[in-house]
């Protein structure tokens, strides 16, 4: 996400090619987020490795730029802010305008002054809707890391030795990582500034030091080829979203790719591609522009009723939207980013260069001076962490839960697909139904999840698979299931619903975590099975794995379960998980300690299953059956 060349005159093809690849990877994974209904036959998670590749490249560029042409800290920061901030601000404000004028178009965003302002200033904070650390323009989370790295790197520019700068940089971020692993902080500043992912900048800076010291050319071509192949394999086959594992796998693999391509270029074997050079230049614009293109693609296919969940049409749709996203980024680069940077650099940087000469290093040329500078920097880092930890130790005062999402289906014409996504296919518990978006619709003032007795082919059928969700060719039943696009932690979920009747029906309103891996956590606000009429089952499950769970449960007799509307509510805080039916508490659980799985984020899920391990035999005469939802309200107290 840095400039198009490392020193303003020479081009490094390896860097440009990898910047292009990183941008394409990020767009690719987001086709599974913004347009997740578009069918794609293979996993897309490895696309997140594009961010790691960007971080490594950024560290590399910073080391090379400041070594080949020494620069004062203030001038360095000015150049980096001019490079990164204006285009990000433009897109953030554009998305803000769309959210205000056309709220249903963008993926769900909560517009508050502090959320937008802190995002524009690159200040880490809790996202008030998602209970995570993403800014208003969600892709800006990577820029929070970038700006932090720029600040730390600028502070080290008073040290003339690149080798010493690298050593202090590595030591500082290693200490911060050790603190993170020891305390797993949830405070936004500590979570970002001590996160192991920052080590990827250091890894890139280390590659940059090898480059400026002339050691890259010593890597043989066979070794370079092995680094490239190995790096690609690790990124595609071994991507792990865990912060530490991510650095150990994709971070190091990105460095291997960079080393391999740099060595290939040093040996004169890396040809020049004008297209890849252009995409490298446009990579930042592609990164920022693609969510809007993908959003428009989602809206358009929905308006045109295109069956993008089908294999052939879905694959074509993914390829087309990927291509359009890249093309849009190039257009933004040529028409907005490039002219804007030229104007800002001409008007601001020349004045700054005229006022400020190159930095003097006389104060730290002695060995004692270098030691003092290193000690001062380390002391500053330790003091900052200690101060933040002290603030973390105090229990924050939480405001009452605030309404962040509401759907009243007596007024709404359809489901808010910017907040919800659909499950498609066979999913869990050997249930008989095949989930389809078509089985979720609004009718008679309610959202209906309808179970039907109708045959359907499995779009993901694979006869050789050992996974029953793929090896099953057909289903005699279809139904609907939705889940929130975003995880939440702490707050409340209130749903007014009416359950279906009939043996084999299994409606549920529940919370499920685990998108980020173990531990397993689940809160079942409502489960009802047709073979036990008028009984609502409420439960919570938590443990290291699905096979090592602690369980809490309650059964409530609700005679009018299928004939009247009932209010089901979850109230969730760090201290208590409480479920109520029509205002009467039926289950209360107290999470045990700060690392309890029930204190981790979860997604909301609403579905109507048929049959399966608990639903039992299905009474076809009871179908079609509808699980009806009159309204949904979501509250958050994680601000």
| Residue 609 and residue 615 in contact, taking contact as beta carbons nearer than 8 Å | yes
My answer on whether 362 and 433 are in the same domain is no
Element (H, E) at 491: strand 491-498
The answer on 299 and 416 residing in a single domain is no
Is residue 192 situated within a structural domain?
Answer: no
Instruction: Judge residue 123's burial from the number of C-beta atoms within 10 Å of its C-beta, 0-12 exposed, 13-18 middle, 19 or more buried.
Output: middle
Q: How far apart are CA 540 and CA 35, in angstroms?
A: 32
446 and 560 part of one domain = yes
What pLDDT is recorded for position 548? 79
Quote the pLDDT of residue 593: 72
Residue 391 banded pLDDT, cuts 50, 70, 90 = very low
Tell me phi and psi for residue 525, to 5 degrees: -70, -45
Instruction: With respect to residue 153, please indicate whether it lies within any of the assigned structural domains.
Output: no
Residue 574 pLDDT class (50, 70, 90 cuts)? confident
**Structural domain of 466:** 402-636
Across 136-150, 391-405, 545-559, which has the greatest mean pLDDT?
136-150
Do the Cβ atoms of 637 and 490 come closer than 8 Å? yes
Mean pLDDT of the region 499-511: 95
Non-local CB neighbours of 542 within 8 Å, separated by 6+ positions = 519, 520, 521, 522, 549, 550, 596, 597, 598
Q: Which of 391, 412, 438 is the last residue of a domain?
A: 391
Give dist(CA 201, CA 52) in Å, integer.
9
Give the end of a domain, one of 391, 419, 446: 391
pLDDT at 351: 58
Would you say residue 423 has pLDDT above 80? Answer: yes
In a domain, 93, yes or no: no
Three-state SS sequence of 521-568: EEEEEEECCCCCCCEEEEEEEEECCCCCCEEEEEEEECCCCCCCCEEE
Question: Percent of the chain scored above 90 by pLDDT?
Answer: 62
Is residue 386 domain-shared with residue 409, that is, in the same domain? no
Residue with tokens 């880092």: 381
Count of structural domains, the chain: 2
3-state secondary structure of 583: coil
My answer on whether 538 and 563 are in the same domain is: yes
Domain CATH for 537 = 2.60.120.200
Band of pLDDT at residue 613, cut at 50, 70 and 90: confident
Residue 276 lies in a domain: yes
Tell me the two tokens of residue 299. 């809206």
Is the same domain home to 383 and 346? yes
Same domain, 432 and 494: yes
Among 431-440, 513-522, 607-616, whose mean pLDDT is lowest?
513-522
On whether residue 175 sits in a domain, the answer given is no
Say how far apart CA 513 and CA 284 lie, in whole Å.
32
pLDDT, average across residues 98-107: 65
Residue 445 sits in the same domain as residue 496: yes
Nearest one of 270, 307, 227 to 56, comparing CA atoms: 227
Q: Which residues are bridge partners to 385 per DSSP?
A: none
Query: Could you tell me if 357 and 437 lie in one domain?
Result: no
Domain identity same for 495 and 387? no
Residue 602: inside a domain: yes
327 phi and psi, to 5 degrees?
-60, -40
In a domain, 171, yes or no: no
DSSP string over 228-251: HHHHHHHHHHS---SHHHHIIIII
In degrees to the nearest 10, what's the CA dihedral of 602, 604, 606, 612? Answer: 0
Residues 292 and 424 in one domain: no
- Measured CA to CA, the distance from residue 255 to residue 604 in angstroms comes to 38
Q: Per residue in 438-468, pLDDT tens? A: 999 999 999 999 999 999 999 889 888 989 9
Question: Among 358, 391, 424, which residue terminates a domain?
Answer: 391
The tens digit of pLDDT for each residue in 322-358 reads: 999 999 999 999 999 999 999 998 888 765 555 544 4
CB atoms within 10 A of CB 155: 20
Q: What is the mean pLDDT of residues 280-308?
A: 91
pLDDT at 107 over 60: no
Question: pLDDT grade, residue 621 (50/70/90)?
Answer: very high
CB-based contact 251:52 (threshold 8 Å): yes
Within 558-636, strands assigned E span 566-572, 577-581, 584-589, 603-610, 625-636
Interhelix angle 13-30/49-68, rounded to 10 degrees, is: 150
C-alpha to C-alpha distances, 416 to 127, 362, 412, 419, nearest whole angstrom: 20, 62, 9, 6
**Using one digit for the tens of pLDDT, what is the confidence trace for 511-520?**
998 766 678 8
* Same domain as 411, residue 304: no
The mean pLDDT value for 156-185 works out to: 93
Cα distance between residue 39 and residue 460, in whole Å? 9
Does residue 109 lie in a domain region?
Answer: no
Query: In this structure, what DSSP letter does residue 615 have?
Result: H
């Amino acid at each position: 996400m840095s400039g198009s060349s490392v020193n303003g005159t020479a081009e490094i093809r390896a860097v440009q090619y990898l910047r292009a690849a990183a941008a394409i990877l990020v767009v690719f994974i987001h086709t599974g987020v913004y347009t997740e209904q578009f069918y794609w036959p293979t996993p897309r998670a490895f696309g997140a490795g594009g961010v790691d590749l960007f971080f490594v490249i950024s560290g590399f560029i910073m080391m090379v730029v400041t070594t080949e042409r020494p620069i004062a800290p203030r001038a360095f920061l000015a150049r980096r802010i001019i490079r990164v901030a204006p285009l990000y601000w433009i897109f953030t404000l554009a998305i803000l305008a769309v959210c205000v004028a056309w709220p249903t178009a963008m993926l769900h965003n909560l517009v508050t002054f502090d959320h937008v302002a802190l995002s524009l200033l690159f200040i880490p904070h809790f996202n008030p809707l998602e209970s995570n650390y993403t800014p208003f323009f969600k892709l800006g989370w990577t820029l929070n890391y970038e700006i932090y790295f720029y600040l730390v790197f600028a502070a080290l520019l008073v040290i003339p030795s690149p080798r010493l700068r690298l050593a202090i940089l590595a030591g500082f971020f290693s200490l911060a990582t050790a603190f993170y692993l020891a305390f797993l902080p949830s405070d936004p500043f500590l979570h970002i500034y001590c996160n192991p992912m920052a080590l990827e900048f250091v890894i890139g800076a280390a590659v940059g030091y090898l480059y400026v010291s002339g050691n890259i050319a010593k890597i043989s071509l066979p070794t370079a080829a092995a680094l490239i192949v190995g790096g690609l394999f690790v990124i595609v086959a071994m991507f792990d979203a865990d912060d530490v594992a991510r650095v150990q796998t994709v971070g190091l693999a990105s460095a291997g790719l960079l080393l391999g391509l740099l060595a290939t270029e040093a040996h004169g074997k890396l040809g020049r591609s004008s297209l890849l050079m252009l995409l490298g230049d446009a990579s930042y614009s592609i990164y920022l522009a693609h969510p809007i293109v993908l959003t428009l693609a989602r809206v358009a296919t929905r308006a045109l009723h295109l069956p993008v969940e089908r294999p052939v049409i879905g694959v074509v749709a993914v390829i087309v939207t990927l291509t359009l996203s890249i093309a849009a980024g190039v257009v933004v680069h040529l028409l907005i980013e490039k002219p804007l940077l030229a104007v800002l650099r001409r008007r601001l940087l020349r004045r700054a260069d005229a006022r400020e000469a190159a930095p003097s290093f006389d104060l730290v040329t002695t060995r004692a001076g270098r030691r003092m500078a290193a000690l001062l920097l380390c002391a500053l880092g330790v003091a900052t962490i200690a101060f933040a930890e002290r603030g973390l130790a105090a229990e924050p005062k939480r405001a009452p839960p605030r309404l962040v999402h509401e759907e009243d289906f007596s007024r709404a014409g359809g489901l808010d697909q910017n907040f919800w996504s659909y499950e498609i296919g066979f999913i869990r518990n050997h249930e008989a139904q095949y989930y389809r978006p078509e089985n979720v619709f609004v009718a008679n003032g309610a959202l209906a999840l309808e179970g039907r007795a109708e045959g359907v082919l499995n779009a993901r059928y694979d006869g050789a698979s050992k996974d029953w969700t793929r090896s099953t060719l057909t289903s005699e039943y279809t139904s609907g299931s939705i889940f929130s696009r975003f995880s939440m932690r702490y707050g409340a979920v209130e749903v007014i619903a009416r359950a279906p009747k009939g043996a084999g029906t299994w409606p549920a309103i529940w919370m499920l975590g685990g998108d980020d891996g173990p531990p397993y956590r689940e809160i079942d606000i409502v489960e009802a099975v047709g073979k036990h009429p008028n009984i609502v089952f409420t439960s919570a499950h938590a443990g290291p794995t699905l096979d090592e769970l602690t369980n809490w449960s309650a059964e409530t007799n609700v005679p009018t379960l299928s004939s009247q509307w009932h209010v089901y509510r979850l109230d969730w805080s760090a201290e208590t998980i409480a479920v109520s039916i029509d205002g009467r508490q039926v289950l209360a659980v107290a999470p045990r300690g700060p690392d309890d799985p029930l204190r981790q984020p979860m997604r909301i899920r609403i579905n109507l299953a048929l049959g399966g391990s608990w639903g039992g035999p299905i009474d076809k005469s009871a179908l079609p059956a509808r699980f009806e939802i009159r309204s949904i309200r979501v509250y958050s107290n994680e601000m």
